């Protein structure tokens, strides 16, 4: 399991492109028949993926966690961005289709991932944070996620937000998670930008079409940097950093947060004309 450590704003302001990518870009996800994880020391959030193609695969434990099993002191959010699948949690089977979300709380001991179609496998995006309180396992279908449409075609950011794990949805100890789907012709996400010093955030871009990319903006508002990102890549966003993006075509992304609180609207806005 790869580990990523903290970087200060001053350090990031002097990084080369290769250094930026090595510290913040997660490009090792979505490998067939594998479960992969990267451990970030920003709020100790783990980002991973599971693609069971020909056989079911079980969530492993990692010696670095010093735990009896993966979720002994953690919770896990799972969103499927691929074909139809099933996830079995401690013997209970959940049907998880594309854009459905399953939450497994602290104390869940056995999690097994399965695809229903080998030629169209499920692709599970995984996000885990430490947990000190137990909440029940719960599945939330895409249709139940109370989608909200915001933005406009005039500003190239018409998009639909689906909130899954939050104070009014699936309850968790500290994890917040959902996704955003941009409309055809819209390319900007999270603009105007914001920061939130009280929690880190992880972005995962998907449904980025072949030949297209997303320019992910990060850094302090007056000291921004960018990463060129491909389909099925994630980026670690420190609490002090903005996290906005612009694609060469429309795309979708999963956002997930953990830290001081779970209030979705807890952010410090940055006006567009303040960016540098």
Q: What is the pLDDT of residues 100-138, one digit of tens each?
A: 999 999 999 999 999 999 999 999 999 999 999 999 999
247, 182 contact by CB (below 8 A): yes
Token digits of residue 197: 């010093």
The 3-state DSSP class for residue 225 equals strand
Domain count, the chain: 1
Structural domain boundaries enclosing 26:
2-274
Q: What is the pLDDT of residues 159-169, one digit of tens each?
A: 999 999 999 99
H/E stretch holding 20: helix 17-24
36, 28 contact by CB (below 8 A): yes
Instruction: Give dist(CA 183, CA 239) in Å, integer.
Output: 28
Evaluated on CA atoms 100, 241, 64, 35, the torsion sign reads positive
Q: Which residue is associated with the tokens 């100890």?
A: 173
H/E stretch holding 221: none
98, 162 contact by CB (below 8 A): no
Per-residue pLDDT of the chain (276 residues; tens, 9 = 90+): 999 999 999 999 999 999 999 999 999 999 999 999 999 999 999 999 999 999 999 999 999 999 999 999 999 999 999 999 999 999 999 999 999 999 999 999 999 999 999 999 999 999 999 999 999 999 999 999 989 999 999 999 999 999 999 999 999 999 999 999 999 999 999 999 999 999 999 999 999 999 999 999 999 999 999 999 999 999 999 999 999 999 999 999 999 999 999 998 899 999 999 999
Instruction: Give dist(CA 4, CA 45) in Å, integer.
Output: 10
Taking the C-alpha atoms of 46, 50, 56 and 60 in order, what is their torsion angle to the nearest 10 degrees? -20
129, 114 contact by CB (below 8 A): no
68, 78 contact by CB (below 8 A): no
Q: For 267, what's the count of Cα atoms within 13 Å in the CB-facing half-sphere?
A: 17
CATH number of the domain that residue 253 is part of? 2.60.120.10
């Amino acid at each position: 399991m790869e580990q990523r450590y903290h970087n200060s704003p001053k350090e990031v302001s002097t990084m080369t492109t290769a250094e930026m990518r090595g510290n913040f870009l997660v490009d090792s996800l979505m490998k067939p028949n594998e479960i992969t994880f990267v451990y970030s020391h920003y709020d100790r959030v783990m980002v991973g993926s599971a693609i069971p193609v020909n056989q079911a695969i079980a969530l492993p434990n990692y010696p670095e966690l010093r735990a009896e099993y993966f979720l002994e002191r953690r919770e896990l959010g799972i969103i499927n961005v691929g074909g139809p699948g099933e996830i079995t949690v401690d013997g209970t089977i959940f049907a998880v289709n594309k854009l459905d979300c399953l939450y497994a709380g602290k104390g869940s001991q056995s999690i097994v991932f399965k695809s229903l179609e080998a030629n169209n496998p499920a692709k599970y995006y995984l996000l885990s944070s430490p947990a000190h309180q137990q909440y029940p396992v719960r599945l939330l279908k895409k249709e139940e996620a109370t989608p909200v449409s915001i933005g406009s075609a005039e500003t190239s950011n018409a998009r639909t937000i689906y909130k899954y794990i939050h104070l009014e949805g699936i309850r968790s100890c500290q994890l917040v998670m959902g996704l955003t789907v941009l409309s055809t012709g819209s390319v900007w996400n999270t603009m105007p930008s914001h920061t939130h010093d009280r929690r880190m955030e992880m972005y995962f871009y998907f449904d980025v079409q072949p030949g297209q990319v997303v320019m992910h903006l990060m850094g302090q508002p007056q000291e921004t940097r960018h990463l060129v990102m491909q389909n099925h890549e994630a980026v670690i966003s420190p609490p002090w950093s903005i996290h906005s993006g612009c694609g060469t075509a429309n795309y979708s992304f999963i956002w997930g947060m953990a830290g001081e609180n779970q209030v979705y609207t807890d952010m410090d806005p940055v006006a567009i004309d303040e960016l540098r």
